[in-house]
Amino acid sequence: MTAGTRIALTRPFYGTVWFPLLTVLGSMLLVMVAAWQLTGISFKPYDALVLDRAAFFPDSKGVCSPSISDSLAYANDVPEPIATQLLNCVQQLGQTGSAGREVNLPHEWRSQADSFPELMSGRGLYHVSLALSGNQPVLYGLYLPAVSSNAAVFLNDVLLGWGGSFEQPVARNATRPMLFSIPAGLLREDRNWIDVYVVAEPVPRGFLDKLYLAPIEVLEAAYHDHGIFRHEVPRTIALSLLVISLFIGVLWFYRRKETEYGLFALASLCWAVNAMDQFVVDIPLPVFFWDWLMMFSLSGFVFLGVMFVHRFLHEAHPQIERLMLVIGVPVALLCLVLPRDYAYRVVLYVWNPVLLVYGAYVLLFVLRKIGQRHVSRELYALVLAIAVIFVFASYDFSVQMGWRPQVNGLFLHFGAPVLMLSFTWILLRRFVSSLRATETYNRKLLNLNQELEQRVAERGRKIAESYETIRQFEQREVLLNERSRIMRDMHDGIGVYLTSMLRQLDTASIDREQLKDSARNALNDLRLMIDSLGNASTDLSAMLGMFRTRISAVLEACEMELEWAVDELPQVADFGPERALNLLRILQEAVTNAVKHSGSKRVSLSACTELKPGSANQIKIEICDNGKGFIDERPGGNGLKNMQYRAKKIQAELVVSSGGQGTSVTVYLPVAASQGDSMTLKQSEGRRNGVAGTRK
Amino acid sequence: MKKGIIILLGTLILNLGVAHAATASFQHNNSTGGKGVDTVNLSAPGSCMVFRSARLEFSKRRYGSAKISRLPAAGCNPNREQCTLTVEWEHGPAGGLDYKVVADWGNGGC
């Protein structure tokens, strides 16, 4: 024994290929048995008088009109009513001289077409004699379960009713039972006779079922149930097929890549059209074209069904589909051009077997898939539906071939609910699976989002911490720079004066005036520093105002007049404590020089905005006196050099002019520092910081 | 109250000597309808029993009817004479009748 055999023997039965195969075959067997039992349902009325023998008189001589116009019902001039025409026809047929041929009911014309050539007229009369006894205490009726195509019923030469239009195409009542009530007194206690005039289109499909005579209340129940089973249920099925076809069609419209939906929708539509043959009584087309439409729709259903199954199971077989079309389309066209008798024979003996073979192919195809162990619940549902449809199709095929009676009708359309249920279940299952998958993905996405949000929050917190650290560093640096600047300014300003004072004190003879000057200069410089550190250090106008306060007292003490002419000044870019202090020192030096050396009685300070050609605006600050000037005395002294140095430090231009009319010191301060200037200023500040650091 | 008890007891005493017996059953189920007369020669369930009355019991009565057209005389003793009962029946097409004749017998023949 090989290893493979041992595995096969030890594997449980339900795990083998045989289990699903036997399950499907068993289900098919059950469906076949159920279908066979179902075809036996004939809705016989309880205890009714069954009339199953009749004398048949075919209209071989054409005494009855092949078509009785419906327009009589609307005509103004009615020479002979429809009822009279039918009665004349029946009476003439009954009086043909012959006794008629005794036939058993149900009587199918196709089985006797060869031995009974008169049947080919498509019209005939069934004459039933019956002798009754006993009175009729209730209203009686005559029940005709099925007839093809149309019939008119007479009792004792009185018309009881008929099944619709006798104008071609005549009404089709093969699936519509008929119930005629018998007027009181018409049914005699002795001899009675019933005449049923039958018109069949096409002739081979003609038949008459048994007749039932009973009280109308007895027949009513059977008539009602039979009508629902044969007529109303097919109508509902066709409507359902149409609805599901539209539904799946819309589904396909939104998911066009899944062609199986489109094929299923078209197949359902074809089947809905085909099912119309089961309940449409007055057909809108000539009989032949109607029958051709039915054949075409059935073929379409089979073709599209095969294509659907191929795609549903993800197996492409283009050769088979092409072969089906290559055979089907010529046959359909051939049927249109052939003589009608031949066309019906081609459909019956060629095309219907071909369609059945296609059906068997689909069933075997799906079973093979199960045999390959590609088993899923969807496949089981599909197999079940196809098996049921195939069983019904086989039964219908046997009816059309004459192996089963026509009176029980066709059953293929009863497979539609099974298919619809199966496919609806498949769609529902797919929908629920998609919903579950979407919910799972959403849940995962939600978790990912939450995780991402946590990460972003963590990063944000770290960035904030970094910013805070940077801000603290910057603040510390600013503080350090400012401290360095103040130290430098004190070193360059007040430090120089204090050093000078110490040197004077070291000398043997102390010049008190010089010492006093040095102390005053040190105090002034300290004040300037304090002013430059105040709130007004960034606002030039305010700073000049404070400067005015400082010098006013000095000038007043020297009895000098101050002329003040300061316009409204714009904000100066990068104007901070350092630039303010240097500017103030320049102005202070200019005023001190005017007080000390000019000998004038008037000092003027003016400030205004000037437009410098080819450049940005600048602020012009000018201090003038009307003294003696200094040109001839001390050109290029230390005071002026210092002023020039400070002007250069704050990116300003210093112009000093002196003459017989006095001295003027002018500072040009740019309003907006250019990028280069700004950079230069920053570089110089950096250098200064470096210098300050070195000095330390 | 006393009167009611007396009537009840009297009825019970009278019924003590009465026997009910089905004597014949008939079926008429002709699908084309029918009518006719059924004749029954009654026989007593005991030797001392005499005929009192008779009635019909139907197990099926569809679109038809039956009625006793002639009864034997009350006190008729089948052991001494012929007690004959006739029933006329009729039913329509798709109708039918199943019935039996039930006779009441009493003591008094001995």
Q: Which tens digit of pLDDT belongs to each residue from A106-127?
A: 999 988 777 777 788 889 999 9
pLDDT digits (tens, 9 = 90+) for A312-322: 888 889 999 99
Please report the pLDDT score of residue A631 as a whole number: 57
pLDDT digits (tens, 9 = 90+) for B70-82: 999 888 888 888 8
Minimum-distance CB partner of B94 among A133, A189, A218: A218
Inter-residue long-range contacts of A429-437, CB under 8 Å, 24+ positions, other chains counted = A429/A377, A429/A378
Average of per-residue pLDDT values in chain A: 84
Which stretches of A81-231 are DSSP H helices?
Answer: 82-94, 216-227
Q: Regarding beta strands B84-107 and B49-70, do their DSSP bridges make them parallel or antiparallel, or are they unpaired?
A: antiparallel
In angstroms, rounded to a whole number, what is the distance separating the alpha carbons of residues A585 and A529? 9
Distances (CA, A) of A316 to A302, A309, A313: 17, 10, 9
The answer to whether A48 contacts chain B (CB < 8 Å) is yes
CB distance A49–B64 less than 8 Å? no
Lookup: tokens for A543? 């700073």
Q: Is the peptide bond before A284 cis (omega within 30 degrees of 0)?
A: no
**Pick among A135, A182, A189, A217 to test the B interface (most B CBs inside 10 A):** A135
In angstroms, rounded to a whole number, what is the distance separating the alpha carbons of residues B89 and B74? 23
Q: Do B74 and B32 meet the contact criterion of CB atoms below 8 Å apart?
A: no
Q: Predicted ipTM?
A: 0.75
The answer to whether A217 contacts chain B (CB < 8 Å) is no
Window from A402-411, A436-445, A505-514, B64-73 with minimum mean pLDDT: A505-514
pLDDT digits (tens, 9 = 90+) for A146-188: 999 899 999 998 999 999 888 888 999 999 999 999 998 899 8
CB distance A132–B91 less than 8 Å? no
More confident of the two residues A291 and A100: A291
In angstroms, rounded to a whole number, what is the distance separating the alpha carbons of residues A83 and A154? 10
- Number of CB atoms found within 10 A of residue B67's CB: 9
- Give Rg (Cα) of chain B: 17
CB distance B92–A47 less than 8 Å? no
CB distance B33–A132 less than 8 Å? yes
The answer to whether A135 contacts chain B (CB < 8 Å) is yes
Strand-pairing partners, residue A617, are: A611
**Pick among B31, B61, B91 to test the A interface (most A CBs inside 10 A):** B31
**Mean pLDDT to the nearest integer, A552-568:** 86
Count Cα neighbours of B58 within 13 Å in the Cβ-side half-sphere. 14
Please report the pLDDT score of residue B88 as a whole number: 96
> What's the first-to-final CA gap in chain B, in angstroms?
36
CB distance A134–B92 less than 8 Å? yes
**Does position B26 have pLDDT exceeding 60, yes or no?**
yes
Minimum-distance CB partner of A47 among B34, B62, B90: B62
CB distance A131–B32 less than 8 Å? yes
A139 contacts on B by Cβ (under 8 Å): none
Name the residue in chain A with its Cα closest to that of B28: A134
Q: Give residue A640's pLDDT band: very low, low, confident or very high (50, 70, 90).
A: confident
B33 contacts on A by Cβ (under 8 Å): 132-136, 189
**Does position A649 have pLDDT exceeding 90, yes or no?**
no
Residue in this structure with the two tokens 């939906």, named with its chain if needed? A261
pLDDT digits (tens, 9 = 90+) for A333-375: 888 898 888 899 899 999 999 999 999 999 989 888 877 766 6
Q: Give residue A623's pLDDT band: very low, low, confident or very high (50, 70, 90).
A: very high
CB distance B31–A50 less than 8 Å? yes
In angstroms, rounded to a whole number, what is the distance separating the alpha carbons of residues A598 and A558? 12
**Pick among A46, A129, A133, A216 to test the B interface (most B CBs inside 10 A):** A133
pLDDT digits (tens, 9 = 90+) for A181-220: 999 889 988 899 999 999 998 888 899 999 999 999 999 9
Minimum-distance CB partner of B94 among A133, A135, A214: A214
A218 contacts on B by Cβ (under 8 Å): 94
Q: How many CB pairs under 8 A join A and B?
A: 61
More confident of the two residues A449 and A71: A449
Q: Give residue A533's pLDDT band: very low, low, confident or very high (50, 70, 90).
A: confident
Window from A328-332, A581-585, A638-642, B22-26 with minimum mean pLDDT: A638-642
CB distance B62–A136 less than 8 Å? no
In angstroms, rounded to a whole number, what is the distance separating the alpha carbons of residues B5 and B17? 20
Give the distance from residue A219's alpha carbon to the nearest chain B alpha carbon, in angstroms: 11
Minimum-distance CB partner of B90 among A47, A134, A187: A134
pLDDT digits (tens, 9 = 90+) for A207-261: 999 999 999 999 998 899 899 988 899 999 999 999 999 999 999 999 888 898 9
B28 contacts on A by Cβ (under 8 Å): none
Amino acid at A53: R
Give the distance from residue B60's alpha carbon to the nearest chain A alpha carbon, in angstroms: 12
In angstroms, rounded to a whole number, what is the distance separating the alpha carbons of residues A235 and A472? 87
Which stretches of A40-132 are DSSP H helices?
Answer: 82-94
CB distance B96–A47 less than 8 Å? yes
Task: Tell me how far the alpha carbon of residue A185 is from its chain's centroid.
Answer: 71
Give the distance from residue B40's alpha carbon to the nearest chain A alpha carbon, in angstroms: 22
Q: Regarding beta strands A178-182 and A140-144, do their DSSP bridges make them parallel or antiparallel, or are they unpaired?
A: antiparallel
List the beta strands (DSSP E) in A519-661. 561-566, 602-611, 617-625, 653-659
Please report the pLDDT score of residue A394 as a whole number: 92
Name the residue in chain B with its Cα closest to that of A135: B92
B90 contacts on A by Cβ (under 8 Å): 134-135
